[in-house]
Structure 1
Amino acid sequence: MGKVFTITEGLENMGAIRTGGQGSVYKGRRQGEIISAVKLLPTPIHTEDEQDKNYRDFYNEVEKLKKVNEVPNPNVVKILSSGLTESGSFPFIEMEFIEGPDLEELLQAPNDPVFSIQELIKVASHLSNALAHCHNVGVKHGDIKSNNVKFNYYTGNYILLDFGLAIMSDEQRRTSLRHAGAVEFMAPEQNEGQMLFESDVYSFGVILYELVAGVVPFPLNDRGETARNKVMLSHMEAVPPDVMEIRKQNLPKSWSAERREIEMRVPAWLLDIISKCLKKDASLRFKNGVELHKSIVHNFTTEVGGSEAIARRNNELEKENRNLREKVLLLENRSVVEDNQSPRYYADPDKISISKPLYYVIMLCLFGLLGFAAYSVYNNNPATQNSQVFNSVDSSAVDSSGITDETQPRVKDNYDKEIRAMIDSVQRADSNADTLGANQEPQNNEEQQNPQTDEPNPRLDEEADNQNKRSKKYTLSATRAYFYDESNENSRRNNFLAKWNSPELTALDDKNGFIYVEFFTINGEITKGWLRKRDLRKIGE
């Protein structure tokens, strides 16, 4: 079998690719540059006669196999031709040559020892689709294992290969499986020579188990008969080990902790499918590849549909957030853009441009100056001063001379009552000023009855001069003016008048730089006392 020989006319033998119990696979080349794979069966057929049972069985199986390619499937290898070799009369089938590694090679270094969840689902979908296609036309593969599924470099699809057992007779198949079959992938009933649609489903479950865990559920330690029998017995009786526990142990150490955690989240539905495929009783498995593929598609689309709904919502939220960020950025950059564009505008020489902050400062200062000017004019008006109501001099806080003490607080019980008292005092002051000349002598007698310390006692020949002094009206020029008991600096009292609430003062005497004055309190009482002349000014000056 290892020697180079002619396969058939127009098909050149380019050497063996792989040999096994079910036959050998050679690399062939048709006329030109078309490369193919040729499967040679080990049992020769010497006569192409329907009376020959071997030829008849081979012919019937090939006819069934041709149905697989009547409708092309992206996950099933294309059958190009079949026949008998010119030398040796070995049956062969010619298939397209797939460039790429098989699943067994993809689990070996330098590749990762386990498949990612994404690739797991992809293999499950592609391989179940291939099985569904074959079973739908009545073809049982019978030899599904990891090195019979290849990854096509050019299309990115996983392809089911090697239909060698499919074209064997039942007797040839039983003999081949018993002595040379891949027992790690064989269903329990195949040990008895049976090949069912459910047998392909079982082998499918073993492949997925291997991709999840990195090893098959019952590995073959050596090629001896004892080891093979032990694996066969395990498939018939033993429970497969926990696939997720083995996966956890075989995850690559080079993966980050985050990725290791993510890759342990194998979908529950996929684990359930693997468990159902590996049932010992064939009736408890999926009936065929069609039912298996429908289950995978249903679970996958349901999961993806929910994920897509969440993804769509997340995309909408991200889009909304992106729009909001763009608006905020636009508002933040608007002032910068305006500043960058401002030098392009030409200033009007007849206009003065100032910034808003400077404008607000100027307006604030202007209003402040206007308020201060109004306050000054208001306080300098004697008529206004007489109309103000303050409590620095209050009848409730005056001593025997009616002056408020500096240490005593002013009391304001009722604002309206004070205003009315002020108006009454002003009216009484006007009335007293009119009758002052007529009642001057009784007034002097009253002053003599209530003498003040150092109060003058004018003679009759000075009456005219005093009358002139009493006619003078004063107001305060200093901030505050203290009262004195006598006309000297050593007799200062704690009582004072404030400039902002000083009433109109009537001068009664002028002595040693002091003026003896009288005035009305807010309660309408007449109060007298000495004040320094320099603290006063004449009204009208």
Structure 2
Amino acid sequence: MSKVFTIAEGLQNLGALRTGGQGSVYKGMRMGPVYSAIKLIPTPIYVEDESDKNYLNFLNEVTKLKHVNEKPSPNVVKILSSGITESGSFPYIEMEYIDGPELSELLLPPNQKVFAVRELLKVTEQLASAIAHCHRVGVKHGDIKSNNVKYNVHTANYVLLDFGLAIMSEEQRRTSIRHAGAIEFMAPEQHEGKMLLQSDIYSYGVILYELLSGQVPFPLEGNGDTGRNAVMIGHLEKEVPDVMLLRKNNLVNEVSDEVLQNEMQVPQWLIKVVERCLQKNPADRFADGIELYDAVTKGLLLGEPQGARNHDHELPGGLLRLAASEKELRERNDRLEKELKLLKPLVSAAGIKYDEASGIYQPGNYIRAPKTAFVGLATVCALLIVFLSFSVFTKKEVVVPAKVVAPYESPLITYGKEYQQRLLKAREDSIAKAQLAENLKAIEVNEQNAKKKKRKKFLGIF
């Protein structure tokens, strides 16, 4: 029986997750039950010295990758470690293991062929945030595709994975792309071995196109050279097919007319973002992830999906619209504010002043009035209080029935500044959770190391 492939001391190999031209990804486990994903680069390094070009390239690129995690992002996988394997002398990077489905799996049955608009907007924002995070520290991913983005079932975030191409030399990238790269997601310039910031933007556009329409702009037919060449020519020369026509064709026989009409209301700004990302010339795309994220954020905050507040039906895949209940709550709030205005003159007559700045009623000067006036005023106030209490507590509440939905299809509602605050709060919470999990892992590893030292001391091993 052959020996299990060894990664490094303290890093156990639990088997391959997937293999490809850019290397293989293995599921690993550190000391204690801490799972990770290990990316192996297929070019072995026999001399761990700066005189070795491959080793030097590997060190330089890994140094860049470390900057990605200096400030954690909930949408970018954490790089845990890197080194050379004990068996085979292959360079590797160890990343956190994300538990959940890949983006490409969410387009397969029993799911719909396309993403609902609201969940599409969530992916649009979070993936743009991930790319911007990498580009801020000068890291180009180079291999952004739908099976390199995972939905984290524990945090409900979409996470960008696999920085394999980022740590390859230009020659290694060119060879890998030619023979085994995901050619459907690659920018035209990548076929020449170039990897630009704008290359990541193009791949991002392909992913959004796929989620919108149900397929990539230029699908691969077969895995031979003929099919790959056809896809490459498509990216270099052909016009991108109409994304909305494909979306309609993939929905028309799958959903009701009402859902179809609603799901065709894709924000115009989003379509324009996709079109700009898929320009053949890199200079015509967004310059980098930062500019892309700015455009997406403006679109989310200033534009709202048409009809988002006018329907109360289920979206494909079990997404439940909550807009109707929210609309009713807003109307009730407006009504209460009007009724409150009726009370203000009466309260003022009683010698109480209302501070507009603080929103607090302050005692004022007493007014001498006949006893009958006070009795009448008290009666009016009591009647108004009874009326308001009756209207509030007898109003039928809108109860949203409990519904088990696919975890990756959480609603995304955009309402200007309110949404921006929720977005920032959610991001801060995700970062705090990620930091807490990282601290807990570190404590666990330290405890394991302490136990190991005590065991060695007890056995007389130093």
TM range (shorter): 0.5 to 0.7
Kindly state the Cα deviation for residue 306 of structure 1 after the two structures are TM-superposed.
11
Which residue does the alignment assign to 2:332? 318
**Letter matched to residue 202 of structure 2:** Y
1:187 Cα deviation after fit: 0.4
CA distance in 1, matches of 2:140, 2:217: 23
Which position in structure 2 is the counterpart of 1:214?
A: 214
Task: Identify the residue that residue 318 of structure 2 maps to in structure 1.
Answer: none
1:114 corresponds to which residue? Answer: 114
Q: How is 1:435-446 mapped onto 2 (pairs within 5 angstroms)?
A: none
The match for 2:370 is none
Matched, 1:44 2:58: no
Contact 1:15/1:28, CA 8 A, preserved across alignment: yes
Aligned partner of 2:142 in structure 1 is 142
Relative to structure 1, the CA distance from residue 308 to residue 264 in structure 2 (aligned partners, 3 Å threshold; closer, same or farther) is closer
Please name the residue that 1:432 is paired with: none
Superimposed CA distance per residue, residues 175-222 of structure 1 (whole angstroms, 9 cap, x where no aligned partner): 111111111000011111110000000000000000000000000011
Residue 113 of structure 1 contacts residue 252 of structure 1 at CA under 8 Å; is this kept in 2?
Answer: no
Deviation at 1:303, TM superposition (A): 1.9
Distance 1:309 1:262 in 2: 11
Give the letter aligned to residue 4 of structure 1.
V
Which whole-Å CA distance do the structure 1 matches of 2:267 and 2:64 have between them?
37
1:25 has 2:39 as partner: no
Note if contact 1:4-1:15 (Cα within 8 Å) is conserved in structure 2.
no
| CA–CA separation in structure 2 for the residues paired with 1:254 and 1:319 | 38
- What does 1:63-102 correspond to in 2, within 5 Å? 63-102=63-102
Looking at structure 1, the residues matched to 301 and 212 of structure 2 have their Cα atoms a distance apart, in angstroms, of 21
**In 2, distance between residues paired with 1:329 and 1:7?**
68
Q: CA deviation at 1:62?
A: 0.4
Matched with 2:184 is 184
- Cross-structure match for 2:299: 299
State the 1:65 CA deviation. Answer: 0.6
Aligned to 2:13: 13
Rounded to whole Å, the distance in 2 between the matches of 1:106 and 1:305 is: 22
| Cα displacement (A) at 1:67 | 0.6
CA contact (8 A) 2:262 2:307 kept: no
Cα distance per residue 1:27-56 (max 9 Å; x no partner): 101111000000001000011001011100
**SS of match in other structure, 2:211:** helix
- Tell me the residue number matched to 1:538: none
Secondary structure of 2:58 counterpart: helix
**CA deviation map 1:419-448 (0-9, x unaligned):** xxxxxxxxxxxxxxxxxxxxxxxxxxxxxx
Matched, 1:167 2:181: no
Alpha carbons of structure 1 residues 174 and 305: separation in structure 2 relative to 1, 3 Å? closer
1:233: which partner in 2?
233
**Aligned letter for 2:49?**
D
Judged with a 3 Å threshold, the aligned counterparts in structure 2 of structure 1 residues 254 and 327 are, in CA distance, closer, same or farther, namely: farther
* CA gap 1:103/1:305 in 2 versus in 1, 3 angstroms: closer
Superposed CA offset, 1:93-119 (max 9, x none): 000000000111000011111000001
**Separation in 1 of the partners of 2:235 and 2:223?**
17
Measured in 1, the distance between the counterparts of 2:305 and 2:328 equals 14
Write the distance in 2 (CA, Å) between the matches of 1:111 and 1:86.
42
Give the fraction of aligned pairs with identical amino acids, expressed as a percent. Answer: 58
Q: Which amino acid aligns with 2:214?
A: G
Partner residue, 2:156: 156
The DSSP-based 3-state class of the residue aligned with 1:215 is coil
Instruction: State the AA in 2 paired with 1:97.
Output: Y
SS at match of 1:67: helix
- 2:117 maps to amino acid: I
**Offset of residue 299 of structure 1:** 1.2
CA drift at 1:71: 0.7
Cα distance between partner residues in 2 of 1:11 and 1:329: 64
SS in 2 for 1:25: strand
TM-score normalised by structure 2 residue count: 0.68
Higher Rg: 1
Whole-angstrom distance in 1 between the partners of 2:235 and 2:308: 39
Deviation track 1:443-468 (CA, whole Å, cap 9, x = no partner) reads xxxxxxxxxxxxxxxxxxxxxxxxxx
Instruction: Find the aligned partners of 1:237 and 1:264 in 2 and give their Cα distance.
Output: 28
The alignment partner of 1:15 has SS state of strand
Please give the alpha-carbon distance, in whole angstroms, between the structure 2 residues aligned to 1:43 and 1:106.
33
- Aligned equivalents of 1:117, 1:50: Cα separation in 2: 50
Match of 2:421 in 1: none
Counterpart in 2 of 1:194? 194
Displacement after TM superposition at 1:23 (Å)? 0.3
Give aligned pairs, total. Answer: 330
Q: Which has the higher contact order (CA 8 A, sep 6+)?
A: 2
Q: CA deviation at 1:328?
A: 10
Deviation at 1:327, TM superposition (A): 4.5
1:417-436 matches, within 5 Å, as none
* 1:77 counterpart SS class: coil
Instruction: Supply the distance in 1 between the matched residues of 2:242 and 2:309 (Cα, whole angstroms).
Output: 33
